[in-house]
A and B are shown apart, each in its own frame.
Chain A
């Protein structure tokens, strides 16, 4: 019983770290360009399809396939910046959100048009055999994914908070106009943000779908990861790890113990309820910047 509980907790934490990885794509874009990317789910699906195309359809070796997919997603991120967000520098938060919503609809349509709605096999990038510790079973892809999430979070945290370029980008997240006034290239910052977001999306899709199947419906994970971003507070990258673990564990324990009792899928709703409760107490999330509003 105890072993089972620990197993559920560990797997839940690893799933939560997957959510943090997805949320990292979101937070990075925000941190460097002040854009809320509602289309994060679609970007993950796009990244997954690029991987599928490279490895399954073109038969490339997985390492090469990953590199190609990463490269293309960087290009797509740059294209998005060039075509869309360059014009929106300085516009309100609202417009940005709306543009990403439009991007969501557009990307979904593009994926359907280019690749069609069939279910496809997603390559097993990570070995399929699980990690077995005594009586506990831990899926290998989630475990490796968790490691990747931690490393990425540490690297990005260092980048945004300690390196010069990273700090300059944080200025963009505060206010585009002021950043411009201080000589920071907002354009480059946004381009970098979207490129990095694309890279993280490809990596997230690798962890999420390794060995399983892929359709355009896989974008649902984007919305599932948003509570993690909010719980951490939108500007905090390190906080994502903690928030992810909390959400993942809560969700896994609910699915294991409460769902069988009530005969419904409470596990899907619980992250949102948890997020709501925390937001009411701390409106900017656990580690988000407290903005001082000036009139």
Chain B
């Protein structure tokens, strides 16, 4: 008797499980690897970027993915912004996770995986601006923004046409460091632009100093004496602060152009004056961090309310948002083109190259994105947003400014 009951129970249990099983098996998971830096130079801004990334994935899973029976799963790895660490982590990630896409962090990830990804056939998306050494054809490491010199060129041309009324070329100087090739690259690219466009910009000088400069007063005075119109600082906050102190000591007011990772808010905080960088600019080919009620801001607020986004509205979060929105749109397009089961790295790469994502698709975070085979960043469609600081807040000055051509250097 007991044996029969036991058998009956087992039979009903198994049938029950079998009947239920197909329902679970229907949702496909797509794996995405994310690189983070929790102990290196970007550790302080990592939580915000990560917050942005994860919130977008959450949103897409709920809104779009659930309808397609697809869930994107993100696994984060700490690469410490170090080439050796990335190189040793990657084979394991590739074998175990089999990601369709990688959300990269910056220079070292690109350096470590530039040669491997074409063979491993997984594309990587970077939210930071590109560097000259990544400017090669047939890349699988794709930047959502053009190079730093491109962004600077966009700003310089805007500055020339508005502030100088197009009357003469802009005199531009750059303060950077040789501590890493990435920083040195910024100067070389800028020089390439000025050499190719002598009617639009003149290169005054490149000041090479330490990552934490001791004193820049005399160097900046040299720039001021030569009539510099704009000082470009795309490296870090320490150099921005040192330059600002130098300008204060000299009593001169030359506008500084910053990038997004060392933007006006961060630099003002490091200076100790919440309005310290008023009148200076931050430039990037991605949504700016102003309080204007743009599509991007609306998207951010929605994520904050409904999907647990805790990071503030600032450049790092926006970069995380930008990375993930392109990622999810690419995956979405691949699903539509090839089917749910065929979302491999190769397919996603193909989609990225073939499709054009409009700014609306990307919720206004980026201008329309169109990758081609000859550069790792969107060549034709890049536009920069220029913001400045007023009363301690980020205020947009110009949006969707075209980026001029910069010859490869």
A residues near B (Cβ < 8 Å) are 7-8, 11, 15, 18, 112, 116-121, 123-124, 128-130, 137, 139, 142, 208-209, 211-213, 215, 217-218, 220-221, 224, 252, 255-256, 259-260, 263-265, 267-268
Contacts and interface: CB of A to CB of B under 8 A. Distances in A.
Contacts of B43: 112, 116-117
B25 interface: no
A116 B44 contact: yes
Contact of B217 (A117, A123, A130, A268): A130
Given A218-B212, A221-B212, 16 more contacts: A15-B215, A119-B44, A121-B272, A128-B249, A130-B249, A137-B221, A139-B249, A209-B212, A212-B242, A213-B271, A215-B238, A217-B212, A217-B238, A263-B187, A265-B178, A268-B208
B178 A260 contact: no
B41 interface: yes
B210 A263 contact: no
A121 B270 contact: yes
B39 to A, nearest CB: 7
Contacts of A137: 217-218, 221, 249-250
B210 A119 contact: no
Contacts of B266: 119
Interface in B231-250: 236-238, 241-242, 245, 248-250
A118 B46 CA distance: 11
B219 A263 contact: no
Interface in B28-46: 39-44
B176 to A, nearest CB: 9
A14 B188 CA distance: 31
B217 A139 contact: yes
A260 B222 CA distance: 11
B177 interface: yes
B230 to A, nearest CB: 18
A128 B218 contact: no
A130 B266 CA distance: 25
B178 A268 contact: yes
Given A116-B43, A119-B237, A119-B270, A265 B208 contact: yes
Interface in B249-286: 249-250, 266, 269-272
A278 to B, nearest CB: 23
Nearest to B178: A265
Contacts of B217: 11, 130, 137, 139
Interface string B297-317: 000000000000000000000
B211 A212 contact: no
Contacts of B42: 117
25 contacts: A8-B218, A11-B215, A116-B43, A117-B42, A119-B44, A119-B236, A119-B237, A121-B270, A121-B272, A128-B249, A142-B215, A209-B212, A212-B245, A213-B237, A213-B238, A215-B238, A217-B41, A217-B211, A218-B238, A221-B212, A224-B210, A255-B209, A256-B219, A260-B206, A263-B191
B214 to A, nearest CB: 6
B115 to A, nearest CB: 27
A121 B271 contact: yes
Q: Which of B41, B206, B222, B270 has the most CB of A within 10 A?
A: B270
Contacts of B214: 15, 18, 142, 208, 221
Interface of B: 39-44, 177-178, 187, 191, 205-215, 217-219, 221-222, 236-238, 241-242, 245, 248-250, 266, 269-272
A212 B39 contact: no
Contacts of B39: 112
A139 B237 contact: no
A81 B248 CA distance: 43
A121 B245 CA distance: 12
A259 B208 contact: yes
A75 to B, nearest CB: 26
Nearest to A120: B270
A213 B208 contact: no
A130 B216 CA distance: 12
Contacts of A18: 214
Contacts of A220: 210-212
A214 to B, nearest CB: 8
Contact of A260 (B191, B205, B241): B205
A255 to B, nearest CB: 7
A155 B39 CA distance: 41
A214 B158 CA distance: 33
Contacts of B178: 264-265, 268
B248 A265 contact: no
Given A116-B43, A264-B208, A11 B248 contact: no
A7 B206 CA distance: 20
